[in-house]
């Protein structure tokens, strides 16, 4: 972790840091830049927070701006909404994505509708930081990504961070935005390292092409991004040129970038740590098809298995989460190297 004794890297400098440090840096930079930004949630001030993303922040900004809450997601998310009406820009931490449904009213009925139902009288600059994803041996109620749960209605934007750079840039964009934004972090990625540019702000609704290719488009989010990149390496060994896109935004979906890629490759593999039905992957395929995409082979989805849930048992959990190998297989089927 970065510590308070080190000088912070200058804005604009690109440095290697972990995904966890990138979250910390985004919070730190946003709070330093704007005194109305606060961080709130369960245990956010205790020993760096549950996933150590908040180290140093209580000491630097005080416990009024790094504010521990009681365990009451619906209550404190609505409190954040109220704060945003009187000049505060709250960042709310959800310790696990699985806790979001307890704040269902705040997330479905209040944050996305508050401006609308007043005829545009308010802006609601609330950021929800959500610790998501499986692989941590946390069992079925602490392992959801939940990334598609709230994509079905307008009013709130939903981001998914697949790399340290995305974790930094998406969180900065969310906090700066004057509307509610939900940002998913993946708990299995916190120790991953990558280049991060301090001060960079993500463009809302813009996906990132991480690797260019011509034969097949692999569209991934969260932890699936690194698995898609590993799959692309392996596919190159089989003579398959894969283009990898980090989705970055579930709402709004970047159909322009995705559409241009698939127009080039004619093939698509969705890599998603969620069930395919009712999620962003299915919506992307629907949008492309409705837009007249001519497929060279049927679009494929590598996802959680349809008819079972996320287990605790370590080997089973590993089997449940889509692997690079499954992505490779789907892509090779797509180009006809192996039978479908």
Binding segment for another protein (CB under 8 A), chosen from 172-180, 187-195, 217-225, 274-282, is: 172-180
Q: Is the peptide bond before 25 cis (omega within 30 degrees of 0)?
A: no
Closest distance between another protein and the C-beta of residue 47, in Å? 20
* CB closer to another protein, 106 vs 189: 106
Residues 6+ apart with CB under 8 A from 48: 1, 54, 55, 56
Does residue 123 touch another protein according to CB under 8 A? Answer: yes
Are 270 and 301 contacting, i.e. CB atoms less than 8 angstroms apart?
Answer: yes
Please tell me which residue in 42, 93, 142, 185 is annotated as part of the active site: 142
Binding segment for another protein (CB under 8 A), chosen from 101-109, 190-198, 240-248, 274-282, is: 101-109
Report d(CA 190, CA 284) in Å as an integer: 27
Selected binder of another protein within 64, 191, 237, 306 (CB under 8 A): 64
Selected binder of another protein within 27, 30, 55, 80 (CB under 8 A): 80
Selected binder of another protein within 177, 261, 265, 334 (CB under 8 A): 177
Selected binder of another protein within 24, 69, 261, 265 (CB under 8 A): 69
Selected binder of another protein within 135, 155, 194, 259 (CB under 8 A): 155
Binding segment for another protein (CB under 8 A), chosen from 85-93, 135-143, 289-297, 313-321, is: 85-93
Q: Name the residue with tokens 């490759």.
A: 265
Does residue 53 touch another protein according to CB under 8 A? Answer: no
Residues 6+ apart with CB under 8 A from 92: 40, 41, 76, 77, 80, 126, 127, 128, 129
Are 29 and 198 contacting, i.e. CB atoms less than 8 angstroms apart?
Answer: yes
**Is position 184 annotated as part of the catalytic site?**
no
Does residue 58 touch another protein according to CB under 8 A? Answer: no
**Is position 142 annotated as part of the catalytic site?**
yes
Burial class (CB in 10 A: 0-12, 13-18, 19+), 16: exposed
Does residue 43 touch another protein according to CB under 8 A? Answer: no
Report d(CA 274, CA 220) in Å as an integer: 11
Does residue 179 touch another protein according to CB under 8 A? Answer: yes
Residues taking part in catalysis: 73, 142
> Which residues of the shown chain bind another protein in the complex (CB under 8 A)?
36, 38, 64-65, 69-70, 72, 74-76, 78-88, 90, 105-106, 109-110, 114-125, 154-155, 177-179, 204
């Amino acid at each position: 972790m970065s510590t308070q004794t080190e000088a912070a890297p200058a804005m604009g400098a690109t440095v290697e840091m972990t995904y966890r440090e990138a979250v910390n840096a985004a919070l730190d930079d946003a709070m330093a830049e704007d005194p109305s930004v606060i961080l709130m949630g369960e245990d956010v001030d205790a020993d760096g927070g549950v996933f150590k993303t908040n180290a140093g922040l209580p000491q630097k900004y005080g416990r009024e701006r790094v504010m521990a809450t009681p365990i009451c997601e619906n209550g404190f998310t609505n409190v954040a909404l109220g704060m945003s009406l009187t000049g505060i820009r709250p960042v709310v931490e959800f310790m696990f994505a699985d806790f979001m449904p307890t704040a269902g009213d705040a997330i479905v009925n209040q944050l996305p509708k508050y401006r609308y139902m007043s005829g545009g009288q308010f802006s609601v600059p609330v950021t929800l930081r959500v610790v998501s994803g499986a692989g941590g041996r946390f069992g079925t109620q602490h392992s959801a990504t939940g990334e598609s749960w709230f994509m079905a209605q307008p009013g709130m934007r939903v981001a998914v961070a697949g790399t340290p750079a995305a974790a930094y840039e998406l969180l900065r964009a969310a906090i700066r935005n004057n509307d509610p934004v939900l940002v998913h972090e993946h708990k299995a990625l916190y120790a991953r390292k990558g280049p991060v540019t301090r001060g960079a702000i993500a463009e809302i609704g813009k996906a990132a092409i991480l690797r260019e290719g011509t034969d097949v488009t692999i569209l991934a989010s969260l932890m699936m991004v690194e698995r898609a990149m590993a799959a692309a390496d392996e596919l190159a060994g089989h003579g398959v040129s894969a283009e990898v896109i980090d989705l970055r935004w579930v709402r709004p979906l970047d159909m322009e970038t995705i559409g241009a890629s698939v127009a080039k490759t004619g093939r698509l593999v969705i890599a998603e740590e969620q069930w395919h039905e009712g999620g962003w992957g299915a919506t992307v395929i629907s949008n492309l098809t409705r837009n007249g995409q001519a497929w060279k082979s049927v679009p494929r989805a590598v996802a959680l298995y349809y008819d079972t849930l996320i287990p605790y048992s370590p080997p089973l959990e590993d089997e449940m989460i889509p692997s690079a190998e499954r992505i490779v297989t789907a892509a090779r089927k797509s180009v006809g190297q192996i039978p479908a």
